[in-house]
Amino acid sequence: MRTLEEIIYNRLITSSELAEKLTTYRDKPAVFYQTSPDDTQRNWSKNREYPRVNFVIDYQANDDRRTSGVLTVDIWCSGNGAQPEDIEPIIRSLLQDVFMTPEGGYPYAFLWSKSEPFQSSLQPEKNASGIVVGATVTFEIFEFSKQETTDPDPIQAVNRYIKGFVNGCVVIGDKNLPEIIEPSGDNPVFYFRLERLRRNRETNTVVWLDANLACHIFAAGEEIRWLRALTDDLLLHGEVTMLDTSPMFITNLSADSSQNALTKGQLNISTQFGLLRLSQRANPIRIIY
């Protein structure tokens, strides 16, 4: 397993489509983290330092599903070879709607924000016409942290439920996730998040809790199909079995396919489950008079 920066780098340099558009450095596609080698280096292919790609990550705190950071990809081109408009769509396709899991961390996903052209005053390579041109492609980064806690846990319950509902799906929060996950219509990705937990009422033996869960569905354009299928199944069953075999009742559902899967999720589930009180043992009689 590698860092997020290493995973992104490997994702870009192993794309044959992108490699065809870029020059090479040390016989690898010219993709660099932060800065590029000096143009006097002899490792450039045929003394060509363009087209090339640089990227950098700016991490931020993540509160209430705000972005965890910003990924910036700069595309540099001269009058020779591919131009920014040829490379920009490839960069977007390689990073958009993909989950990357670094070693010891949580999965990250990228949401394209904007692409802005620019011109540089840097001197272009020999035999190139005009000045150096490029494009800056910006992505918002979202972290998908683990939500499971201790039993009875509503997130554990719905994670286990969805595995039985959809064969071959990926549930974010599982152990040993692969470095790169690409959702598809046949192999969707689900992420359940606990939004709110509050006490409803208490009885002599049970404390009843209300939990609001958000469900994020990723299926490469077929999210509405899975949203409808999941909603129908939950409504028909009316409950989800928790790990201690007690029921978690579905009290309300709200589905909205227009919501962004990365930020809010398309399905909001209101549930109610019970927390059993520990039975109290009576004080034993130790002395008899």
CB 71 within 8 A of CB 137: no
CB 124 within 8 A of CB 152: no
CB 22 within 8 A of CB 53: yes
CB 52 within 8 A of CB 38: no
For 210-264, what is each residue's pLDDT tens digit?
A: 999 999 999 999 999 999 999 999 999 999 999 888 999 999 999 999 998 998 8
Q: Could you give all domains of the chain from N- to C-terminal order, each with its CATH number? A: 4-143 (3.30.70), 154-276 (3.30.2000.10)
Angstrom distance (rounded) from CA 15 to CA 22? 11
Cis omega (within 30 of 0) for bond into 51: yes
Rounded average pLDDT over 121-125: 59
Instruction: Look at residue 285 in the predicted model and tell me its pLDDT.
Output: 65
Tokens describing residue 211 = 């939990």
Tokens describing residue 90 = 């490839």
pTM of the model: 0.86
Instruction: Note the helical H segments in the chain.
Output: 4-13, 16-19, 84-95, 154-165, 223-237
- Is the pLDDT confidence value at 102 over 70? yes
Rounded average pLDDT over 131-139: 93
Please list, in sequence order, all residues whose beta carbon lies within 8 angstroms of the beta carbon of residue 162, skipping any fewer than 6 positions away: 169, 171, 190, 192, 230
